[in-house]
Each structure stands twice: as structure tokens, then as C-alpha cells.
């Protein structure tokens, strides 16, 4: 649920505007960032299976460290704890923990029943991705709400703050809505590279334009 995760990070600015949007984005996407890195070493695995769900042509066959509720709990405590030690702001730290845990909840909604609770199951998944229309409706609405909230609680300091934000939303929207209609990646190596690049562009671009915006 890529744009769903992005939406939670955007909306978190309303709860506490102090942390950079890049930090919120890192927390909301942390499970996917870790997954993309663990794929490189083969510690977690995915296979390309066109048509596995209507939205994504992958079987996420083994990803207990990055995507279990247990892993999310540990990661949330580590990231939220690290932020608390750095800034001593409990509200921000709790928001970060909530974003990390929120990733797990949203993935349970969208994935097939492959999202683990513990390291070896049980596995949950409501299968929203089986329907492109339902996915676009639910995830698209979440994304729109996130954009709306962020645009209301921040304002651009200048042209960069406005257009870098608009460009970010445009690129993510295009990648998201075109995604299910494109060809699956030709190999797992391409998938791994694409995942890693997509994760870091999502985080770093958000961090960049957020510097050129200020709270309303
Ligand atoms: Zn995920």
C-alpha cells in the first residue's frame, strides 16, 4: 500500500509538525525499506508471479523480519526511542511508533494473507489488492486525505516548496495508478533495484521539499 503509507506520513504533520516529513516518511515506509535491503542479501524473499493479485505481480513469500507485527513493534520502539533520545519530544516519538505500526495494519488490509504476526505466522491479509477498483478507491482516498491534510497544515516558503511538493505527488500518483497496467519486472534483480530506489526517492524527496515549507 505505497501511497497509503505515504498518506499516513503526510497526515502525521497535523499531529506534530516538528519532525521533518522525511523522518515521518522513513518511519511509515520503514518495513518496505528494510524489506528492500533484506531482499539483496536473500534474508527475505519475493517471487514474480504475474496475476498473483490484480495490483502487484509478486508473491511475498518470506518477509518475517520487515513485515511481522513483532518486527514492526521492535522497529517502532527503536525508531521512536532513537528520536526521543535525539530530540526529547515524546509526542513526536509516539507519532513515529504509530507510523511504523500503521504500516503493518495497512499491509494487512491490502496484501494476500501473507503478512505475519510473529516470525513464523499466523498470516493475515484482507486481499484488497485482488481488486484494482477497490484498491484505487480505498488507497486513493487515503492518499487524497493525506495530501489534503499536509497541504492545509503547511505552506510553501517559496516556489520550491510548492512545486517540489506538487511534483512529488504527481510522480507518486503516476507510478501508483499506472503500476498495475505495466509489465511485471523482468527479473528479481530489477525488482530489488526498483524497490530500493523507489523507497529512498519517496523518503529523501519528502525530506527535501518539507524544508521549503513551514507550519501554517
Ligand atoms: Zn509493506
pLDDT at 18 over 70: yes
Nearest alpha carbon to residue 184 among 72, 93, 16, 52: 52
pLDDT at 203 over 70: yes
pLDDT for 179: 87
Separation of CA 85 and ligand 1 centre (Å): 26
Asked if residues 115 and 104 have their Cβ atoms less than 8 Å apart, the reply is: yes
Distance of CA 156 to the CA centre of its chain: 23
pLDDT at 21 over 70: yes
Rounded Cα–Cα distance for residues 119 and 116 (Å): 6
Write the pLDDT tens digit of every residue in 28-59: 999 999 999 999 999 999 999 998 999 999 99
Separation of CA 159 and ligand 1 centre (Å): 33
Average pLDDT, stretch 65-90? 97
Output b/e per residue, 132-170; b: 16+ Cβ within 10 A: eeebbebbbebbeebbebbbebbebeeeebbebbeebbe
pLDDT bucket at 1, cuts 50 / 70 / 90: low
Hey, how many other C-beta atoms are within 10 angstroms of the C-beta on 79?
19
pLDDT at 19 over 70: yes
Separation of CA 29 and ligand 1 centre (Å): 7
Rounded Cα–Cα distance for residues 172 and 8 (Å): 14
pLDDT for 144: 98
Separation of CA 107 and ligand 1 centre (Å): 6
Average pLDDT over the chain reads: 96
Q: Could you give the residue ranges of the DSSP H alpha helices within the chain?
A: 2-15, 21-28, 30-41, 64-67, 69-87, 90-110, 132-153, 159-178, 188-210
Write the pLDDT tens digit of every residue in 127-185: 999 999 999 999 999 999 999 999 999 999 999 999 999 999 999 999 999 988 988 99
Separation of CA 33 and ligand 1 centre (Å): 8
pLDDT bucket at 2, cuts 50 / 70 / 90: confident
Amino acid at each position: 500500500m505505497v501511497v497509503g503509507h505515504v498518506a499516513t506520513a503526510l497526515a502525521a504533520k497535523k499531529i506534530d509538525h516538528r519532525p521533518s516529513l522525511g523522518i515521518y516518511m522513513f518511519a511509515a515506509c520503514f518495513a518496505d525499506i528494510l524489506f528492500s535491503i533484506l531482499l539483496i542479501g536473500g534474508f527475505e524473499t519475493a517471487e514474480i508471479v504475474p496475476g498473483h493479485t490484480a495490483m502487484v505481480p509478486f508473491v511475498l513469500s518470506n518477509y518475517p523480519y520487515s513485515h511481522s507485527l513483532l518486527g514492526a513493534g521492535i522497529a517502532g520502539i527503536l525508531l521512536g526511542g532513537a528520536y526521543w533520545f535525539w530530540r526529547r519530544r515524546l509526542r513526536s516519538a509516539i507519532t513515529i511508533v504509530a507510523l511504523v505500526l500503521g504500516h503493518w495494519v495497512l499491509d494487512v488490509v491490502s496484501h494476500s494473507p501473507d503478512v505475519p504476526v510473529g516470525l513464523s505466522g499466523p498470516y493475515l491479509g484482507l486481499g484488497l489488492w485482488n481488486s484494482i477498483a477497490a484498491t484505487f478507491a480505498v488507497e486513493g482516498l487515503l492518499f487524497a486525505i493525506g495530501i489534503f491534510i499536509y497541504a492545509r497544515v503547511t505552506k510553501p516558503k517559496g516556489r520550491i516548496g510548492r512545486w517540489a511538493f506538487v511534483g512529488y505527488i504527481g510522480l507518486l500518483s503516476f507510478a501508483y495508478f499506472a503500476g498495475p497496467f505495466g509489465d511485471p519486472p523482468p527479473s528479481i534483480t530489477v525488482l530489488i533495484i526498483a524497490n530500493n530506489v523507489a523507497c529512498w526517492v519517496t523518503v529523501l524527496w519528502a525530506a527535501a521539499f518539507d524544508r521549503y515549507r513551514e507550519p501554517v
